[in-house]
Chains A and B, each alone.
Chain A
Amino acid sequence: MRGSEFDEAEFFRAIAESEARALLIGRRALVALGIPVLTADYDFWLHIDDMTAFNTAVEPQGLFPTHTPDEARGKGRYVLENDERVDVLVARTVPTVDGVRVAFDDVWGRRRALDIAVGVAVAVPALDDLILTKRFGGRPKDFEDIRLLEALRKEDA
């Protein structure tokens, strides 16, 4: 499938209808919340038991996993790709670079829903949790994004 044929609304609809516990994280989540940053891919943090449902949902969009669910469980992440790229984190807990352990179940419990189309919502972490996920990476651009998220928090206060 060519990138230009990728139907983003349909992509999010399929994920929502799959009932996979999938959180949109990364820069695409920043964009959805209202921060204009450049990004190439989609990042999700997915419940470790929901890989098959998620993979099946996005397969009609021409996205195929680089690893089997068993391999991905061992690595804690995998990628779905074709002309689009979807990075998927599947660890139950992830440490931040400064040592805070973040559990998927806790973040899922505090999630927010953002409407993408009529009847279609994507789940994103609460703002504090999204900031924590930005501390998983520890790259300079992650900390630039944290500062933008802090500005968003002040804007919404």
Chain B
Amino acid sequence: MKPVTPPGPEARARLRLLAERQLSPEEVRAALAQPLGGAEEEESRSLIRWFRRRYPTAATRLAYARRAYRRWRAATPPE
């Protein structure tokens, strides 16, 4: 299996720009008009059910988020 090469700093910067960009008013209206349903809804609800079952309190969910962020930081190449 070919090892995955993490994206370089330039690619990460481009991705960040895309994720952080301000949507236009037309894009906002389109996003808000899109109804939730189908596979997206079921996948999201399934994820929420798992998370609440595994971490039944706000405190355990918040602790999970801190661990997950530390793992993500450790796996992300430095800038």
Interface residues in chain A, defined as those with a beta carbon under 8 Å from any beta carbon in chain B: 8-9, 28, 31-40, 97-98, 114-117, 122, 135, 138-141, 143, 146-148, 150-152, 154-155
| In the complex, per-residue mask of B6-43: 1 if CB is within 8 Å of any chain A CB, else 0 | 00000000000011111101001101100010001100
Contacts of A141 in B (CB 8 A): 19-20
Give the Cβ gap from B73 to chain A, nearest Cβ, in Å.
Answer: 8
Interface residues in chain B, defined as those with a beta carbon under 8 Å from any beta carbon in chain A: 18-23, 25, 28-29, 31-32, 36, 40-41, 44-45, 47-49, 51-52, 57-59, 61-66, 68-69, 72
Given A139-B19, A139-B22, A151-B36, A35–B62 Cβ distance below 8 Å? Answer: no
Report Cα–Cα, A36/B29, bound state, in Å. 26
Among A8, A40, A138, A140, point to the contact of B62 (Cβ < 8 A): A8
23 example contacts (A-B, Cβ-Cβ < 8 A) are as follows: A28-B65, A31-B65, A32-B58, A32-B61, A33-B58, A34-B48, A34-B51, A34-B61, A35-B47, A35-B51, A36-B61, A36-B65, A37-B65, A40-B69, A98-B32, A117-B59, A141-B20, A143-B28, A143-B31, A147-B40, A148-B44, A148-B48, A155-B48
Residue contact A147 to B44, C-beta cutoff 8 Å? yes
Contacts of A39 in B (CB 8 A): 65, 69
Q: Please classify the interface of chain B as helix (H, G, I), strand (E, B), loop, or mixed, using the class held by over half of its residues.
A: helix
Q: Which residue of B lies closest to A36 (CB)?
A: B51
Contacts of A154 in B (CB 8 A): 36, 41, 45
Given A117-B59, A147-B44, A154-B45, A98–B29 Cβ distance below 8 Å? Answer: yes
Residue contact B62 to A31, C-beta cutoff 8 Å? yes
Contacts of B62 in A (CB 8 A): 8, 28, 31-32, 116
